[in-house]
Amino acid sequence: MTIYHAQLRDLEGLINLFDGYRVFYKQDSNPAAVKRFLTQRIVKNDSIIYIAYVNDEAAGFTQLYPLLSSVSMKPMYLLNDLYVHSKFRGQGIGEALINRAKHLCQSENNKGMAIQTAFDNPAQQLYERLGFVKDSDLHFFWSNK
C-alpha cells in the first residue's frame, strides 16, 4: 500500500472512491459533479486529500479541511471524509490514512484533528481505537436550504 497527497493525476481513481463515499451517505451517484468538486479542491489547494493505492489501484482516501482554533490560537484539521472501497476493507487502509493525517498534524504542530461523521457510522470504533475522543460539547448546525 502506498499513500500520498492526491494530485490531478489521481483524479480518475479519486472520482470513483468519492462517488462511492457519497452513495454510502445516501447521495445520488454523480461522477461529473464529483470530478468538478475534486478538481476545485486540488487546484485551489483548499483541502488535503490523501489517496491510498494497493497494487496501483485506488483503494481509499481521506480529505482534510484546515480550521483554526481561536482559543488555542493554533491551526487544526477537520477530517471530513474517509472512505475505503469495499474490496479493500479490513486491510488497515482506513487506519493508515488516519495515521497519515495525524502525522501531518504533528509535523505542523497543530492543535489536533476533528472528525465529522454520521452518528451510526461503524468507523467510530476505529476512530476511538486510534485515540479520538467523542466530544461531549453541544454542536449546532444551520442549514441554508
State the SS3 of the chain: CEEEECCHHHHHHHHHHHHHHHHHCCCCCCHHHHHHHHHHHHHHCCCEEEEEEECCEEEEEEEEEEEEECCCCEEEEEEEEEEECHHHCCCCHHHHHHHHHHHHHHHCCCCCEEECCCCCCCCHHHHHHCCCCCCCCCCCCCCCC
Domain boundaries, the chain: 2-129
The pLDDT of residue 35: 98
Q: Is 67 left (phi over 0), alpha (psi -120 to 50) or beta?
A: beta
Q: What is the pLDDT of residue 138?
A: 59
32's CB contacts (< 8 A; 6+ apart) are none
CATH of 2-129, one of 3.40.630.30, 3.30.450.40, 3.40.50.2300, 3.50.50.60: 3.40.630.30
> Which residue carries 497494487 as its cell?
55
Q: Would you state the pLDDT for residue 123?
A: 83
- pLDDT per residue as tens, the chain (145 positions): 999 999 999 999 999 999 999 999 999 999 999 999 999 999 999 999 999 999 999 999 999 999 999 999 999 999 999 999 999 999 999 999 999 999 999 999 999 999 888 777 888 888 889 998 887 665 677 667 7
Q: What is the pLDDT of residue 134?
A: 83
